[in-house]
Amino acid sequence: MSPLAQIARQPVLRMLALMLVLQGAHSAAIYPYLSRIAIHEVGLSDNGLALLMTFSSGFSVAASVLIGVIGDLRANRKTLVIATSVAALIGNLAMLVHPGVVSLIVAHGVMFPLAWSLLGQSFALAGLVMAGQPGRDGVQAVIRAGLSAGFLALLIWFTFAFADRFVPGQIYLAGAIFSAGLVAVSVFMWPRDGRGAWNHAPSGLNLIQSFAEIARPEILLRMGLLGGVLSIGTLYMMLVSLIFQANPGRSAGDVALYVGMVAGWEVPFMLVLSRLAGRVRRATQIAVGAAIYTGHLALMPVLVGHWSLWLLPLLAGMGGAAILTLPIGYYQDLTNGRTGAAAALFALQKLVSDVCAAAIFAAGMAIGGYGTTALIGSAVTLAASLGLYLADRRGDVAFAMPVHRVQP
């Protein structure tokens, strides 16, 4: 049975696909214009914005890790999902009703980072539903494509909506609409805890034991390598506008078009990737995807002034489909089906990739320029993907997660 057919037949998977589309649209509403709103509309300084983004990133990772672990510990995922969906709605309403520095800090520093954990919890439920069934990676790839589709759809809408004049209120109005949709889906469609046909019993661990089981060296090694692989995506977002701006023939509109094309190509390739699930080892697919994506990043500074630049989003979509979707199932197998622990690792991986990308950017700009930075980032990603391939050369890995029952 194809992944699309599996999703069509299972209400929970259909709900998760809708959840990811809404999350993608919500992200497209609140993140692309953050810098402009913070500095030019609210009056935050450059250093203030940098501090806000640093705090937001750290808080997002900490919250996602804690929520993932608690989800396994107490098996109360629905309650957590409702709470984080409401946090997204509160953040948007704060910016709509009383836009200002305080509301911006509350929304982007606390509420939206909390809501980011919805992504990990959505895939945690997908992993539970598909546990032991064939085609899990394919189903999760299709569901993940919904995130890109929702992001792209709203990005296209904003391109036309802001063609004549930028209206900040529309940003958070759209965010409020989509976050209200997330609340509605969480309350009325997300299955009640303990009522599904899948096994979702509490882990039986206390909080310290839950953290200890994901801190094992063999697991952290692979998480670190995947963070190195994914750093190229973060580096791409750091470089794309700078590379285009440095070329006199390119405009801000070209940046939006390029980023939109990359997101657009990810969707069909994620659907194609779902057909390879179970046929090719994940580590192999990740290595091939990383190699293709590095070609896109390395060539972007070279071709920025040439028409062939517009062929590169095809490479980015092809490679990005693998490196964005496959780590989800990889972590679920790595933790032997402990989906909350897998979501926690997914969040930690983001921190590793962000730090790695920042270090690459600093080193590359100190040595040369944008082209040098892109080459260093490509080399790091290729090395990390090779390391992951060698670590898993005997096949996909699952580590037994010990269960230590908490004494009453």
Instruction: With respect to residue 199, please indicate whether it lies within any of the assigned structural domains.
Output: yes
- Stretch 170-182: mean pLDDT: 93
Of 151, 179, 204, the domain-final residue? 204
- For 250-282, b where at least 16 C-beta lie within 10 A, e where not — what string? beeebbbebbbbbbbbbbebbbebbebbeeebb
Q: Report pLDDT digits (tens) over 35-93.
A: 778 877 888 887 787 788 778 888 888 888 888 777 767 767 888 999 999 999 999 99
Quick one: pLDDT at residue 207? 56
Give the residue from 176, 204, 232 where a domain finishes: 204
What's the pLDDT band for 406 if we cut at 50, 70, 90?
A: very low
CA separation, residue 31 to residues 70, 90, 116, 148, 165 (Å): 27, 16, 12, 14, 18
Residue 2 is predicted with a pLDDT of 76
Do both 177 and 237 map to the same domain? no
Amino acid at 383: A
Asked if the structure places residue 221 within a domain, the reply is yes
281 and 387 co-located in one domain: yes
Residues 275 and 187 in one domain: no
User: Do residues 200 and 216 share a domain?
Assistant: no
Q: Are residues 87 and 236 in the same domain?
A: no
pLDDT at 299: 95
In terms of domains, do 144 and 258 share one? no
The CATH number of whichever domain residue 309 belongs to comes to 1.20.1250.20
- Domain extent at residue 74: 1-204
Residues 369, 267 share a domain: yes
How many CB atoms are located within 10 Å of the residue 15 CB? 19
Residue 69 in contact with residue 339, Cβ under 8 Å? no
Among 204, 235, 253, residue at a domain's last position: 204
| Assigned domain for 274 exists | yes
Q: Are residues 92 and 160 in the same domain?
A: yes
Q: Are residues 182 and 231 in the same domain?
A: no
Residue 4: inside a domain, yes or no?
A: yes
- What average pLDDT does this structure show over 207-232? 80
Looking at the structure, tell me whether residues 199 and 243 fall in a common domain. no
